[in-house]
C-alpha cells in the first residue's frame, strides 16, 4: 500500500483520520461493552437479571445506531466521499468500511429498525416456546412477519441481482446468490456421491469413544487450545449452554464450550472450533482493534478459521497422532474406561465417520452441506414468496428425505432446530459452507507452501501453521474483502474442488481397514 498522499494536504488528512478514528473507536468500544454484556449473560449473570439485561443491551445497540446516523457522522461521511479519490489506499479501505457501516445505519427508516428489533425479540421468544412445545405453528406468525420485514430491509439496502444478495452481504460482503447457490448445489451433489460411496465400503469404522468426566474433558480441551496457540493471558475459556467465541479486543478473547460425560468429542471439538475463531481474533493487529477493520473480514472467512482448526487440522490423522497420547494422559484411569488403549487411528476414525443425522450442528463434514443447501433453498423460497410459512415443515421434511434419506420425527429436531431465522438471520447459513470451502483452499495453499506440513502437525509444531495464517489472513483484518484475501492467498476464486479433493482423500483413509 502506498504512503504518499498526492492531492491532499497533510493537515487535512491528519484531521480527517483523527475524526474517523474517534468515531470508529466510540462504536467499537460500545460494541465491546455489548459483547461483554452478552458473554456475561451466557456465563455469569444471575438468573433473574435476564429481562433488564436485554434492555441494557438494546440501549447500547441504539447508541451505536445513534452515533452512526448522527449529524457529525453524516458530515464526516460527506467529507470522506469528497476526499476519497485523494486518499492513500489504506485510508480508502478504511473509509469504505466506515461508509458501509454508515450507509447501513442510515438505509433503514427508524420505524423499520424499531419494528425489526421488536419482532425479533418476539420471534426468538416464540421460537424457544415453540421448540419446547414441539409445535412450529406457535412460531409461524412471527416468522411470517419477520420475512416481510426482511424483504423491506433488503429493498432499503438495495441490490444489483437478487434481493437475497442484500442480506447475504451483511455476513459475506460482496458475495452473490448467483455465485453461491450453484456452488452449494454442486457441493451437495458431490457429497451425495461420497456418502453413497462410504455406504458401499465393507469396512465400517468404529463410531464410539468411551465416556470421560467433564472436568477432565475441559482441561484436556484447554491443553489442546493452548498448544495450537490460544493465549490464555489474552483470553478465557468457560462453560455455556451453546459454545461461542467473542472478542472484546485482541487481548480479551473469550470462548466457551459445553460438556457431556458420554460424548467427549463435543467438548473437545467445540473448543477446537472456537479456538479457530479465537486465534483469528487474538491475532488481528492491535492497531486495527479500535477500527472497523478490527474484526475478521467476513463470517465466511471467520468460519474458515474455526473449521480449519476443528476439521482440517483437528480431525486429521496427523493431529490425532500428536493428540492421542494427550487424550490418554488426561483421561487415563477416569471412570474405569479404556482410554489407556486409545490409538491415533481409532481417534481419527471416530472423528471422521460419515452418518446422516437430523441435527446440523452434529453433522459430519460430508452431510453438513446438505443441511446448508436445505436451509438456503427454504429461506430463498420464503423470501421469494414461493413457499408459504405454513408449508415450511413439509418442505423441511421432504428436503431431509430427498437429501439425507431421513424423516424428522418432530419439529424440534426438524425445522425448529436452529435459532437463526428467529433472529432474522436470513442469508447467514451459506457462510458455513463458504467457510468450509475457503478453509480447504487455504489448506491446499499451506500444503504447497510447507510440503511437510502434516509431519509438522504430527509433531505438534503448530506455530508454523499459526504464523502462516497470521501472515496471510489475520494481518489484514477486514482491510481486504473476503474475495481479495482468497485471491491473494490462493491465486484463485471460490471453488468447491479443494474441499471435494480434501474430504475424498480423508475418507479414503477413514474407510480403509488398514492405515
For Cα atoms 106, 290, 19, give the angle at the middle one, nearest 5 degrees. 60
Taking the complex as a whole, the smallest distance from the CB of residue 452 to a second copy amounts, in Å, to 33
How does DSSP classify residue 284? Answer: S
Q: Mark residue 153 as left, alpha or beta (left: phi above 0; alpha: psi -120 to 50; beta: remaining).
A: alpha
Which of these ranges, 24-32, 97-105, 262-270, 507-515, lies near a second copy under the rule CB under 8 A? 24-32
Using CB under 8 A as the binding rule, whether residue 121 contacts a second copy is answered as no
Q: What is the Cα–Cα distance from 279 to 392, expressed in whole angstroms?
A: 38
Contact at 8 Å (CB) between 260 and 218? no
**Of residues 12, 49, 207, 401, which one binds a second copy by CB under 8 A?**
49
**Of residues 11, 51, 78, 202, which one binds a second copy by CB under 8 A?**
51
Contact at 8 Å (CB) between 451 and 205? no
**Of residues 8, 13, 63, 201, which one binds a second copy by CB under 8 A?**
63
Burial class (CB in 10 A: 0-12, 13-18, 19+), 269: buried
Q: What is the Cα–Cα distance from 431 to 291, expressed in whole angstroms?
A: 23
Name residue, grid cell 478453509.
439
Using CB under 8 A as the binding rule, whether residue 248 contacts a second copy is answered as yes
Using CB under 8 A as the binding rule, whether residue 234 contacts a second copy is answered as yes
Using CB under 8 A as the binding rule, whether residue 10 contacts a second copy is answered as no
Q: What is the Cα–Cα distance from 41 to 242, expressed in whole angstroms?
A: 12
Using CB under 8 A as the binding rule, whether residue 53 contacts a second copy is answered as yes
Query: Which CB, 17 or 234, lies closer to a second copy?
Result: 234
Using CB under 8 A as the binding rule, whether residue 285 contacts a second copy is answered as no
Q: What is the Cα–Cα distance from 476 to 469, expressed in whole angstroms?
A: 11
Evaluate the CA torsion angle 466, 471, 477, 478 in order and state its sign: negative
Q: What is the Cα–Cα distance from 415 to 418, expressed in whole angstroms?
A: 7
Partners of residue 257 on adjacent β-strands = 239
3-state helix, strand, coil in the chain (%, to 5): 70, 5, 30
Using CB under 8 A as the binding rule, whether residue 110 contacts a second copy is answered as no
Using CB under 8 A as the binding rule, whether residue 236 contacts a second copy is answered as yes
Q: How many CB atoms lie within 10 A of CB 459?
A: 12
How does DSSP classify residue 257? Answer: E
Using CB under 8 A as the binding rule, whether residue 240 contacts a second copy is answered as no
Contact pattern from residue 342 through residue 371 relative to a second copy, giving x for each residue in contact according to CB under 8 A and a dash for the rest: ------------------------------
Q: What is the Cα–Cα distance from 459 to 453, expressed in whole angstroms?
A: 10
Using CB under 8 A as the binding rule, whether residue 37 contacts a second copy is answered as yes
Query: Which CB, 61 or 461, lies closer to a second copy?
Result: 61
Using CB under 8 A as the binding rule, whether residue 99 contacts a second copy is answered as no
Catalytic residue (one of 274, 310, 345, 480): 274
Query: Which CB, 44 or 386, lies closer to a second copy?
Result: 44
Distance set, CA 393 to CA 54, 60, 185, 290, 455 (Å): 30, 36, 21, 44, 47
Q: Is 274 in the active site?
A: yes
Using CB under 8 A as the binding rule, whether residue 56 contacts a second copy is answered as yes
Residue count at the site for a second copy (CB under 8 A)? 37
Q: How many CB atoms lie within 10 A of CB 80?
A: 22
Which of these ranges, 116-124, 171-179, 226-234, 394-402, lies near a second copy under the rule CB under 8 A? 226-234
For residue 245, what is the enclosing H or E element? strand 245-249
Angle between helices 10-43 and 89-107 (to 10 degrees): 60
Using CB under 8 A as the binding rule, whether residue 85 contacts a second copy is answered as no
Which of these ranges, 45-53, 89-97, 328-336, 498-506, lies near a second copy under the rule CB under 8 A? 45-53
Using CB under 8 A as the binding rule, whether residue 33 contacts a second copy is answered as yes
Query: Which CB, 291 or 445, lies closer to a second copy?
Result: 291
Taking the complex as a whole, the smallest distance from the CB of residue 330 to a second copy amounts, in Å, to 23
Taking the complex as a whole, the smallest distance from the CB of residue 122 to a second copy amounts, in Å, to 21
Using CB under 8 A as the binding rule, whether residue 487 contacts a second copy is answered as no
**Of residues 252, 379, 411, 480, which one binds a second copy by CB under 8 A?**
252
User: What is the set of active-site residues?
Assistant: 274
Q: Which residues bind a second copy (CB under 8 A)?
A: 25-26, 29-30, 32-34, 36-37, 40, 44-49, 51-53, 55-56, 59-60, 62-63, 231-236, 248-249, 251-252, 289-290
Amino acid at each position: 500500500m502506498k504512503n504518499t498522499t498526492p492531492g491532499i494536504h497533510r493537515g487535512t488528512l491528519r484531521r480527517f483520520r483523527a475524526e474517523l478514528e474517534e468515531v470508529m473507536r466510540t462504536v467499537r468500544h460500545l460494541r465491546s461493552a455489548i459483547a461483554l454484556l452478552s458473554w456475561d449473560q451466557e456465563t455469569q449473570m444471575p438468573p433473574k437479571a435476564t429481562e433488564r439485561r436485554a434492555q441494557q443491551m438494546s440501549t447500547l445497540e441504539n447508541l451505536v445506531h445513534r452515533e452512526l446516523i448522527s449529524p457529525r457522522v453524516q458530515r464526516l461521511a460527506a467529507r470522506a466521499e469528497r476526499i476519497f479519490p485523494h486518499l492513500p489506499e489504506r485510508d480508502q479501505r478504511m473509509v469504505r468500511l466506515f461508509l458501509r457501516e454508515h450507509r447501513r445505519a442510515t438505509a433503514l427508516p427508524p420505524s423499520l429498525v424499531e419494528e425489526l428489533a421488536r419482532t425479533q425479540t418476539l420471534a426468538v421468544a416464540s421460537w424457544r416456546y415453540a421448540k419446547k412445545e414441539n409445535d412450529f405453528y406457535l412460531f409461524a406468525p412471527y416468522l411470517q412477519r419477520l420475512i416481510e420485514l426482511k424483504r423491506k430491509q433488503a429493498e432499503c439496502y438495495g441490490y444489483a441481482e437478487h434481493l437475497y444478495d442484500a442480506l447475504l452481504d451483511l455476513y459475506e460482503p460482496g458475495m452473490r446468490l448467483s455465485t453461491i447457490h450453484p456452488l452449494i448445489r454442486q457441493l451437495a451433489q458431490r457429497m451425495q456421491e461420497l456418502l453413497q460411496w462410504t455406504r458401499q465400503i465393507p469396512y465400517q469404522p468404529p463410531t464410539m469413544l468411551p465416556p470421560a468426566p467433564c472436568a477432565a474433558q475441559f482441561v484436556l480441551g484447554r491443553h489442546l487450545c493452548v498448544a495450537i496457540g490460544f493465549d490464555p493471558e489474552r483470553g478465557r475459556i468457560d462453560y455455556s449452554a451453546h459454545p461461542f467465541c467473542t472478542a472484546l479486543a485482541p487481548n480479551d478473547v473469550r470462548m466457551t464450550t459445553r460438556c457431556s460425560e458420554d460424548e467427549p468429542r463435543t467438548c473437545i471439538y467445540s473448543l477446537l472450533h472456537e479456538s479457530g475463531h479465537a486465534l483469528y481474533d487474538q491475532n488481528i493487529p492491535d492497531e486495527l482493534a479500535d477500527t472497523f477493520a478490527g474484526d475478521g473480514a467476513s463470517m465466511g472467512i471467520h468460519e474458515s478459521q474455526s473449521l480449519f482448526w476443528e476439521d482440517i487440522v483437528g480431525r486429521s490423522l496427523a493431529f490425532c497422532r500428536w493428540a492421542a497420547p494427550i487424550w490418554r494422559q488426561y483421561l487415563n484411569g477416569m471412570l474405569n474406561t479404556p482410554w489407556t488403549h486409545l490409538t491415533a487411528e481409532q481417534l481419527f476414525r471416530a472423528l471422521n465417520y460419515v452418518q446422516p443425522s437430523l441435527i446440523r450442528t452434529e453433522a459430519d463434514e460430508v452431510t453438513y452441506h446438505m443441511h446448508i443447501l436445505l436451509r438456503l433453498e427454504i429461506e430463498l423460497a420464503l423470501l421469494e414468496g414461493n413457499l408459504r410459512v405454513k408449508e415450511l415443515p413439509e418442505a423441511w421434511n421432504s428436503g431431509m428425505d430427498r437429501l439425507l434419506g431421513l424423516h424428522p420425527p418432530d419439529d424440534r429436531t426438524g425445522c425448529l432446530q436452529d435459532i437463526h431465522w428467529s433472529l432474522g438471520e436470513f442469508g447467514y447459513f451459506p457462510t458455513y459452507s463458504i467457510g468450509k470451502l475457503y478453509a480447504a483452499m487455504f489448506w491446499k495453499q499451506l500444503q504447497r507452501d510447507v510440503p511437510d506440513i502434516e509431519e509438522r502437525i504430527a509433531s505438534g509444531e503448530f506455530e508454523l501453521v499459526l504464523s502462516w495464517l497470521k501472515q496471510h489472513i489475520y494481518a489484514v483484518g477486514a482491510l481486504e474483502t473476503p474475495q481479495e484475501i482468497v485471491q491473494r492467498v490462493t491465486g484463485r476464486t471460490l471453488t468447491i474442488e479443494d474441499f471435494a479433493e480434501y474430504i475424498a482423500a480423508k475418507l479414503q483413509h477413514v474407510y480403509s481397514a488398514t492405515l
